[in-house]
Structure 1
Amino acid sequence: MKLTRRASVALLVAAPMVLGAGTGFAASAQADPHTTQLANSAAPGLEFATRTGSVDADQQMKVAVSLNYRDAAGLDAFLARVNNPSSAEYHHYLTSEQFVARFAPTQAQVDQVRAYLQGKGLTVTDVASNRMLIDASGPVKTVQSAFATSESRYHDNKTNKDFTANDTAPSVDSSVAGLIGGVTGLNNHYQMHSYTQAPKAGAPKVGSGPGGGYTAQELRSAYGVNSLVSGGTDGSGQSIAMLEFSHFTQSNISTYDQQYATGSPTPTVVKVDGGDDDTAGDGVTEVELDIEVAHAIAPKANVAVYEAPNSDQGEIDMWNKFVTDKVSVVSSSWGSCELDDTASTETAVDNVAKQGAAQGQTFLSAAGDSGAYDCYRHSGTQSPNANNLAVDFPGSDPYVTSVGGTSLSEGSGGSYAGETVWNEGSTKWAGGGGVSSKFARPSWQTGPGVSTSSLRQVPDVSANAQNYSIYTVGQWTYVGGTSAATPFWASVLTLANQQAVAAGHAKVGQVNSTLYQLGSSSSYGTLFHDITSGDNLHYSAAANFDEASGWGSPKADALVPNLSGGGTTQPGAPAVTNPGNQTNLVGDSVSITAKATGGTTPYTWSATGLPTGLSIASGTGVISGKTTTAGNYNVTVTATDAAGKAGSASFTWAVSTSGGSCSGQQLGNPGFETGSASPWSASSGVVSNASAGEAAHSGSYLAWLDGYGSTHTDTVSQSVTIPAGCHATLSFWLHIDTAETTTSTAYDKLTVKAGSTTLATYSNLNANSGYVQKTFDVSSLAGQTVTISFTGAEDSGLQTSFVIDDTAVTLS
């Protein structure tokens, strides 16, 4: 009987000696652990390979075990707010310590996985300081046993390459499966490759560089960087990190710096997992190109070259190092075709990129050099996916800015004469771009030219991918590739960071949402070169955004001040402060004052796209009136100064007809004090009086799920409407008590969901002596009617009670 079992809970708490009698029962419940297969850690491409034998059982292996976020839904909601100009948290980034405390796995969870790996015979070699990654090693036979798989030697029949891989996806015990995001290092089928077009010594001379190619000054001149550098915006006090899987020679960098009088600091080297083990240095031109482009565009910035082995583990460990080192801007000229990559590697990198976005870091990655067919290789044997439309990872990740390629033409004195999409025809050298097969289109990816596909589109921006004059491997030459365009853009954003810091503003951080907002504004043409000709072997350039060139290349003298301050400006014009996206109901009275700085006062104000019923006062910038017509409006506010120069800011304005104002609490019977469930739907006996054996948080009633000590499931749920445009928070008070006190296994679980989104899962491991308030941002569900549900599932062993009280869905 339910009350009898719950009464025994009080006995167990009051008389600890009784727990000794339960220890044997708890142990027996764990004697038959179940395993869970980690499907995303299966080796890719085995269907194109032939197994040739087993791997030496005593050979040493290294693996990286990535962990899941403690509150993934909460992190996604925070990232949406920190990148939303209308949010109070806009650009209020977290420190790494705050991030770990708020979203990373708990130390207890990390210790649980560490102990699990050690219990399987593996040696834990490192635990990342952000608690998101555990490195381990051991003989092949131990790794096979630990993850219930086998390692074999294979021959790829398509690429004619030998490799090793796990025959099946690894499995782990169910006690830790919910904590582990994936296991990498089990296969070396595909490696990351760089996106540098080979040196062109002896090719026709383009630009005035020795050996051919555009000089540092010519690149700066064409894209409007010269005026910034000469004015002191030269990268001073800022840093750029380069993701590399090869070495460089400092004497080559010094020769470049002397030729172009960059005066750049000597790059530093950060070795990850012992650094690059490629003694042949096949990627040396890539690394030296990256450094020299940064020295050309942001000459006084500090460049840190991160080197790691070219393996899944090396890749993940390097990304993790970026966020723990809190590097401001990271440029990656290496990538993998999405279709060839290991899914667990992509998941682990995505997790790290999210932490970087929360901390205000900027990640950029080359879009690839094979046009819309990213799996195509210009040397060596072909991938089986070579003829399939595909995009490059990590550029396809929504928290990474993907950089495509163009062909730049210059006029006299290095002036800008035009650009087309980079495409060298039958050679299949072309700027990457297309539609991801792995990542959903993020909410910020909107604007003219962006397709309605539900998937992420790349590139986001582009720049010249040909004819960079560099000094590498002891000679002057010129090279190209999107791996030249990527450090170029990374350097431009570094200049924006310098201006932002000087003005007391936040750094640009995860810049994608800002780029799309600016691309959609009426001042787009003053900030970007819109690439409208050419194609990348499949997608054609067009006005505004396209999958061949993104939003185009930068007009840096206008774009950098905008990125650092938040308004769209012409050089020397007023900078309009973006008021953020607005929401109202039909009939609301509005009074908002637009503001600007700089230029020559007084300003004359104008606006386009205002909601029906509103107008702007030309002399004061006050937007006022009463909204009369529902709809979604794209508004641009412009300040024209006394010298005739104009600056503007663009934002959205949503006017709704229903849903009430954005205030108040939306749940019915939130504290269950009516004594019945309605309007909640609940299992029998869930809504209880406190006298039944559990104390209420307040009042006399509560929702009591489980506590039987036998296999049982209880639910309580209620539908609620969250009006469009409102910020909404779900909160409740939770008390968990349990007799499962001698285990590290989550036997009994409570799942909290809003619609189909799982907000959190709690278990007997989260037992506490009193109530704890839990709070979740559910603003992403605005405009919907969703069901808030609590589901408690108890196994056949000792009891766990999940007690909920004082719920609320609060609008603001």
Structure 2
Amino acid sequence: MRKRRAACLSVVLALTVLSGCGSSGSSSKPSASPTAAATWKYTTLDLGIPDKVLKAPVTGRVPDGQTLHVGVTLKVSDEAWKKYGHGKSPSQTAGDVGKELGVSDQTIQKFQAYLNSAHIQAKTSKTRTNVTFDVKAGQAAQLLRTSFVTHRLNGRTYFTPDPNHPPQIPEALKPYILAVTGLESYSMAPKSRGPLGAALPGRALPARAARCIQRFPQRFASHDRVAAAYGYNQLWNQGWHGENMTVNLVEMDGYDRNDVANYVACTGSHIQLSNVNLGATEPAVGAEATLDIQMLAGLAPNLRIVDYQEDPALLNTGNGADSWAALNNALQRIIDNNYDLSKNPAGSIVSISMGGPEGYLSPSIMQAIDQNLRILTVAERMTVFISSGDCGAFGDRTYGSLDVSFPSTSPYVVAVGGTRLGFAPNGTRTQETVWSDRSNLSRCENQWGSGGGVSKVHQRETFQQAPGVDNRYSTTGGREVPDVSAVAIDLPIYYRGRWVSSGGTSAAAPIWAAGMALVNQGLLARAHVFCFGPDTLYHALSVAGANKPYTDVVAGNNLYYPATAGFDLSTGMGSPNLPALFNTLVANPG
């Protein structure tokens, strides 16, 4: 376990962290001779695939022409991580950080030479921590001295390398490899967003016709009610609306600009919205991206939002690993686009509203994504908020089977659960309970409620200290989620020309991201510091004194874990009390 990093960082120091790091990131030809491949000694590449997955009955072979999206995650050494300390600026000069973080140019040349022996051109990330390439299954089988076979287990068909002939790689490359993804399809595709509710009263209008509702029915958590309930409006009154702050979104669908424009017009927002297209030719209009953007726009109305859009078709290939490769690719692009912090605003944030059950994911996928999340948090000084899932305590979507949602269980992120807010007739807040729904327990379609529980993969970090963290469920020492929570039901969004009800922890994550953007804006203005990482939120509780940075949610459950006084496995430490969180951090930045 690592010691808790300092919660906040001086902006003067932060601006030197990753300046000038790494290579160009573009595809390049190897400088080493491909004939060297013939002289390499080979060793087994262990992908960490569980025995039960490999031993399931073989049903066929993968066609040689099938495309595999392969990612090789390269290890960041312990020595390199030590240069970042615990929330302190690294000691080396700005231009050297990329070389310290990633592998050397010579090592990259070895990988390129090896791949070139199979006529594969690869792309290297700017931090030299990732190599990615697309390859036909037949080529990959030849390169790795294996074949790819299909299996069937528990009603699912998937492929792996031939268990009798595991993949082989050169011994010289193995010490640099943390994980390889894309060589199996057992991992279950990530899911996002709770279900859409019924449309609010009123007919659908032409795309460009704005229709604003002056006051939503009592049960709806409109942006102004949420802002008042959580104190966002008190930070607005200080002049902080998200100006010069950035939230990066990762999406597997698109959005209709007219829907966003209508929401922005009706809420008085002035967001700056831009897209980074990562492969979608025509991104499908989906409720997830629409929900994320509109939650941010309503609560941090002058925010800069960068939407990284992956190809939604990857969700429908039947290969869950493709979806995870796309998510990891998006994380790497955010890293590459922000590696020079002298050119980017301090205190940036990432919000992700997707995840999958730990029990149905390969170790390679989790290791690869974990390292990119660590780079974003530890090296690039961002806070990453990730929804904890919408299937209550049963992340594998089967009632009675306890599981938690990765990557919300990563130690480098803030896991966000979901609540239900109650309102009086005048729109003021009355109560807050765990979001959950027992009306249909046959199978979860993202409607059972706030994801939470104890990780079987990640150990609890030393920073996760709060009243209630030590509980009757914490006997294994696993990472506990969620860390915090926010409203996740009856949130009105403008979608496909009309107002509809939406929600899920997919909404709670960007709600928290908007709040942290406002807090960091205030900290930069008042104290010239900003805060980052999950450590920050536990640190705030430990030094709060009379302040209460979170509203403790003590009613309800997520179909298994009850809400209790203090930390619990339904809502974490609670929902935002943004003014108290700001006051705590400005007085005790860590």
Query: 2:265 maps to which residue?
Result: 258
Query: 1:36 maps to which residue?
Result: 44
Secondary structure at the aligned position of 1:175 is classed as: coil
Structure 1 position 455 matched with structure 2 position 478: yes
Distance change in 2, residues 1:504/1:527 (3 Å): closer
Distance change in 2, residues 1:234/1:80 (3 Å): same
Q: Which residue among 557, 564, 579 is the counterpart of 1:557?
A: 579
Distance change in 2, residues 1:420/1:409 (3 Å): same
Larger Rg: 1
Structure 1 position 513 matched with structure 2 position 535: yes
Distance change in 2, residues 1:289/1:152 (3 Å): same
1:387 deviates by: 3.8
Matches within 5 A, 1:566-645: 567=587, 577=588
Secondary structure at the aligned position of 1:402 is classed as: strand
Distance 2:64 2:401 in 1: 37
1:153 deviates by: 3.8
AA at the equivalent of 2:423: E
Query: 1:535 maps to which residue?
Result: 557
Deviations 1:545-564 (A, max 9, x none): 1111111001112213434x
Check whether the contact 1:211–1:477 (CA below 8 A) recurs between aligned residues.
Answer: no
1:31 deviates by: 4.8
Query: 1:441 maps to which residue?
Result: 460
Check whether the contact 1:194–1:335 (CA below 8 A) recurs between aligned residues.
Answer: yes
AA at the equivalent of 1:72: D
Secondary structure at the aligned position of 2:565 is classed as: coil
Higher relative CO (Cα under 8 Å, sequence separation at least 6) belongs to 2
1:402 deviates by: 0.3
Check whether the contact 1:395–1:402 (CA below 8 A) recurs between aligned residues.
Answer: yes
Check whether the contact 1:444–1:516 (CA below 8 A) recurs between aligned residues.
Answer: yes
Matches within 5 A, 1:389-788: 389-427=402-440, 429-451=448-470, 453-503=476-526, 505-510=528-533, 512-521=534-543, 523=545, 526-563=548-585, 565=586, 567=587, 577=588
Distance change in 2, residues 1:403/1:167 (3 Å): farther
Deviations 1:128-184 (A, max 9, x none): 11101111233211101222332234455435xx54443445332211111111211
Query: 1:275 maps to which residue?
Result: 280
Secondary structure at the aligned position of 1:427 is classed as: coil
Distance 1:463 1:74 in 2: 36
Query: 1:58 maps to which residue?
Result: 65
1:214 deviates by: 2.2
Distance change in 2, residues 1:138/1:200 (3 Å): closer
Deviations 1:277-307 (A, max 9, x none): 775x5xx101100000000111100111101
AA at the equivalent of 1:414: G
AA at the equivalent of 1:166: P
Deviations 1:163-208 (A, max 9, x none): 4443445332211111111211123344543432222115899994
Matches within 5 A, 1:132-531: 132-155=129-152, 157-159=154-156, 162-168=157-163, 170-201=167-198, 208-209=215-216, 213-265=220-272, 267-272=273-278, 274-275=279-280, 279=284, 281=285, 284-309=286-311, 310=314, 311=322, 312-326=324-338, 328-357=348-377, 358-376=379-397, 387-427=400-440, 429-451=448-470, 453-503=476-526, 505-510=528-533, 512-521=534-543, 523=545, 526-531=548-553
Secondary structure at the aligned position of 2:155 is classed as: coil
1:32 deviates by: 6.9
Check whether the contact 1:94–1:359 (CA below 8 A) recurs between aligned residues.
Answer: no
1:519 deviates by: 2.1
Check whether the contact 2:218–2:427 (CA below 8 A) recurs between aligned residues.
Answer: no
Distance change in 2, residues 1:493/1:231 (3 Å): same
More helix by share: 2
1:47 deviates by: 6.3
Check whether the contact 1:436–1:455 (CA below 8 A) recurs between aligned residues.
Answer: yes
Query: 1:624 maps to which residue?
Result: none
Distance 1:525 1:227 in 2: 15
Distance change in 2, residues 1:246/1:405 (3 Å): same
Distance 2:51 2:297 in 1: 38
Secondary structure at the aligned position of 1:293 is classed as: helix
Check whether the contact 1:197–1:479 (CA below 8 A) recurs between aligned residues.
Answer: yes
AA at the equivalent of 2:395: D
AA at the equivalent of 2:353: S
Distance change in 2, residues 1:496/1:122 (3 Å): farther
1:353 deviates by: 1.4
Distance 1:361 1:261 in 2: 27
Give the TM-score normalised by the residue count of structure 1: 0.59
Distance change in 2, residues 1:207/1:286 (3 Å): farther
Distance change in 2, residues 1:39/1:408 (3 Å): same
Check whether the contact 2:540–2:581 (CA below 8 A) recurs between aligned residues.
Answer: no
Distance change in 2, residues 1:78/1:461 (3 Å): farther
Distance 1:440 1:95 in 2: 34
Distance 2:282 2:55 in 1: 28
Distance change in 2, residues 1:96/1:66 (3 Å): farther
AA at the equivalent of 2:479: R
Unaligned runs of 5+ in 1: 1-26, 83-88, 377-381, 568-576, 581-812
Distance change in 2, residues 1:277/1:62 (3 Å): farther
AA at the equivalent of 2:381: G
More strand by share: 1
Check whether the contact 1:207–1:214 (CA below 8 A) recurs between aligned residues.
Answer: no
Distance 1:211 1:249 in 2: 28
Distance change in 2, residues 1:364/1:58 (3 Å): same
1:445 deviates by: 1.0
1:477 deviates by: 0.8
AA at the equivalent of 2:419: T
Distance 2:242 2:100 in 1: 32
Distance 2:248 2:259 in 1: 19
Runs of 4+ displaced beyond 6 Å: 91-96, 203-207
Once the two structures are overlaid, the 10-residue window that deviates more, 226-235 or 400-409, is: 226-235
Check whether the contact 2:519–2:578 (CA below 8 A) recurs between aligned residues.
Answer: no
Check whether the contact 2:547–2:580 (CA below 8 A) recurs between aligned residues.
Answer: no
Distance change in 2, residues 1:522/1:431 (3 Å): same
Deviations 1:60-98 (A, max 9, x none): 3331111111x22551x456621xxxxxx3x77999855
Check whether the contact 2:277–2:310 (CA below 8 A) recurs between aligned residues.
Answer: yes
TM-align CA RMSD = 3.0
Distance 1:229 1:300 in 2: 10
Distance 1:32 1:324 in 2: 32
Distance 1:558 1:78 in 2: 33
Distance change in 2, residues 1:408/1:92 (3 Å): farther
Distance 1:217 1:94 in 2: 46
The count of residues paired between Structure 1 and Structure 2 equals 515
Give the TM-score normalised by the residue count of structure 2: 0.80
Q: What percentage of residue pairs aligned between the two structures are identical?
A: 27
1:502 deviates by: 2.1
Check whether the contact 2:112–2:122 (CA below 8 A) recurs between aligned residues.
Answer: no
